[in-house]
Structure 1
Amino acid sequence: MATSSSNINLCFLMLCVSLLITTTCHGYSDHAALFIFGDSLYDAGNNNYFNNTIIRANFTPYGETFFKYPTGRASDGRLIPDFIAEYANLPLIPPYLQPGNNRFIDGANFASIGAGALVETNGGLVIDLQTQLSYFMNMEKQLKQQLGDTEAKKVLSKAVYIFSIGGNDYFAALAPNSTILQLHSRKEYVGMVIGNITTVIKGIHKRGGRKFGFSKMINLGCLPSLRAVKMANTGRSGCMDEATLLTKLHNRALSKTLKELERQLEGFKYSNFDA
């Protein structure tokens, strides 16, 4: 199983890289940027500069293996976007909120640890996906000021946009005191999550984005934290069935939605692989 997962990860990496690499490098019009949206799997440190949150990874042992200091990444080293950037001969894409960060021809990272597709998920403590889109729109204005409208549009149209989002929405629904799944059926709730993701995709497409990459959601039910919750609640070991079911519903719904968007949106291209 490990070999299969590694091969899929490599396929996702190489597909994103192939979309990013261009044949020439004369001027901005031939430059392929990387724009990053999502949660802790992709956040390079935005939460360090988001004053409303205590959800950060700016302390040891985070960052100890590669950077040798905590960068704000929820990892002891690099994240998937870092490897994509490296293989595409781009610099590591810094957090959008990092002070002094105003070079966007290589891309920007809008992801936030703890973020969800829904505004209510960890509301006020994270940069939710809709707010990430608003940051992207602000960045677009800055890019136009720097390059002019024509060149900025070329950068946005050639760029790759990658997403890892949704897991925290389901964590919120499965929290001990949550009433979310009492108020909504599983299908309805997944539809809300996918609906918000779709809105953001369309917002980016409207501004010229054409090439997208999506990480499928891992089986949340088998994460140690939710296995522990199951043990505490039921006395039984193993994966949490409810979380596993939500994961499957999410991945099916996302796959279906992306196929529909491919038919609906002009020039829309995407990859959708396991994280």
Structure 2
Amino acid sequence: MRMNYTIAILLILISASNQASSACFKSIISFGDSLADTGNAIHLAPSDTYPYSAMLPYGQTFFHRPTGRASDGRLIIDFIADALGLPFVQPFFRPSSCDFSGGVNFAVAGCTALADSFWAEEGIQVWLANTSLADQLSWFKELFLPKFCHTPSDCKNYLETSLTVVGEIGGNDYKHALLGGKSFQSTLALVPKVVKAISSTINELIKLGAKTILVPGNLPMGCSAVYLTYFKTSNQTFYDPKTGCLNWLNAVFRHHNELLQTELNRIRQQNTKINIVYADYYNAAMPFYKSPQKYGFIEGALIACCGCGGPYNYNQTSFCGFEGCSTCEDPSLHVSWDGLHLTEAAYGVIADSLLGGSFTIPPLSELCVLPSKTMIMVT
């Protein structure tokens, strides 16, 4: 078992949270799916379809209990909040009242960019109804702002001083298509529709007063155990020899990212006073898929830490947390947590790359004077 100090990554510590937040943003407003959900799905899901993230071993590393986060610990949004000197972003749906002054999270695991009606026409039933990106925007406009803001001026100030994060989004749309039997070409045809849904949300947020919007692209999901298991083949030409990832599948997510960046450029041109920042999750993650040991992931990047067996420790009928499944001794040695989501350690590496400005366009570090950096441990 690797010692905790060997997993050290660059993160940002604050000496005075008020100074840090006033130098950058006073709060975070988040939309998205399981990559950003900090607990909404737990409170929205009916008792007979409770999300796996509501059970151990989810949350075991940092929180030592399940919080609804689809990982063993913190997510990218948690690392960003910590770096800005802000509290972890609270899920909007909670049984008890909480303070949203430091931020609010509308992200829901399983969320799609496209509306439920689209998937109904395709004959596909979404896991959790009425949680699409448009639904999340409606919660923000119709449920949150009227209660949180006392005057239009309050709302305007809140949005102007917040970092608004839209995504990652779209991964579940492509998952529905691919695992629902859609062809590669049919899945590619969805990309413009997904990007349009994201664009529409961004434009609406700008109208409401958002000044700085961070828009993540998709991860290289062709490297995930779910897809590697589902589309396993003996034809080695389907795989990247350097990573073992599915080339054709990663092409879908690269196409999404390319179209998304083109659309963000168009929005920038129309809104020259708004900061639109693209977060390149794909290329921030790819280095540890190419050289996992270099980043301390000595158990590799493709095999899930928590699972029920198979070549990638992912079973299509029994999932992480199910009876009979097992969890690796040290999640920080793995990139993959449950076959679809990443470990806290992997999310930490991505967050560090974003905060450093290497994988944000324009560099986030140019828009926000971040506190000094220090080495800390991900335990």
So what's the TM-score if we normalise by structure 2? 0.60
Map of 1:31-110 to 2, 5 A cutoff?
32-52=26-46, 53-110=49-106
Which residue of the other structure, out of 120, 126, 146, is the alignment partner of 1:141? Answer: 146
Secondary structure at 1:205 match in 2: helix
Over aligned residues, Cα RMSD in angstroms? 2.7
Q: Which runs of 5+ in 2 are unaligned?
A: 1-8, 12-16, 120-124, 240-244, 282-379
1:68 and 1:77 map into 2 onto residues whose CA distance is 8
Which piece of structure 1 moves more, 248-257 or 31-40?
A: 31-40
Larger Rg: 2
Which residue of the other structure, out of 142, 149, 152, is the alignment partner of 2:155? Answer: 152
Aligned to 2:231: 230
CA shift for structure 1 position 56: 4.2
Q: Residues 31 and 105 of structure 1 are in contact (CA less than 8 Å); yes or no, is this contact kept in structure 2?
A: no
User: Which amino acid counterpart does residue 164 of structure 1 have in structure 2?
Assistant: E
Map of 1:1-275 to 2, 5 A cutoff?
21-23=21-23, 32-52=26-46, 53-120=49-116, 123=126, 125=128, 127-137=131-141, 138-145=143-150, 148-162=151-165, 163-175=167-179, 177-179=180-182, 184=186, 186=188, 188-231=189-232, 234-236=233-235, 238=239, 239-265=245-271, 267-275=273-281
2:187 and 2:250 map into 1 onto residues whose CA distance is 15
1:51 and 1:166 map into 2 onto residues whose CA distance is 20
Distance 1:31 1:271, change over 3 A: closer
2:98 and 2:144 map into 1 onto residues whose CA distance is 9
2:10 and 2:132 map into 1 onto residues whose CA distance is 28
CA shift for structure 1 position 197: 0.5
So what's the TM-score if we normalise by structure 1? 0.81
CA shift for structure 1 position 181: 5.8
CA shift for structure 1 position 266: 5.0
1:103 and 1:149 map into 2 onto residues whose CA distance is 20
Secondary structure at 1:189 match in 2: helix
CA shift for structure 1 position 154: 0.5
Q: Which structure: greater helix fraction?
A: 1
User: Which amino acid counterpart does residue 250 of structure 1 have in structure 2?
Assistant: H
Q: Residues 187 and 252 of structure 2 are in contact (CA less than 8 Å); yes or no, is this contact kept in structure 1?
A: no
User: Which amino acid counterpart does residue 260 of structure 2 have in structure 1?
Assistant: L
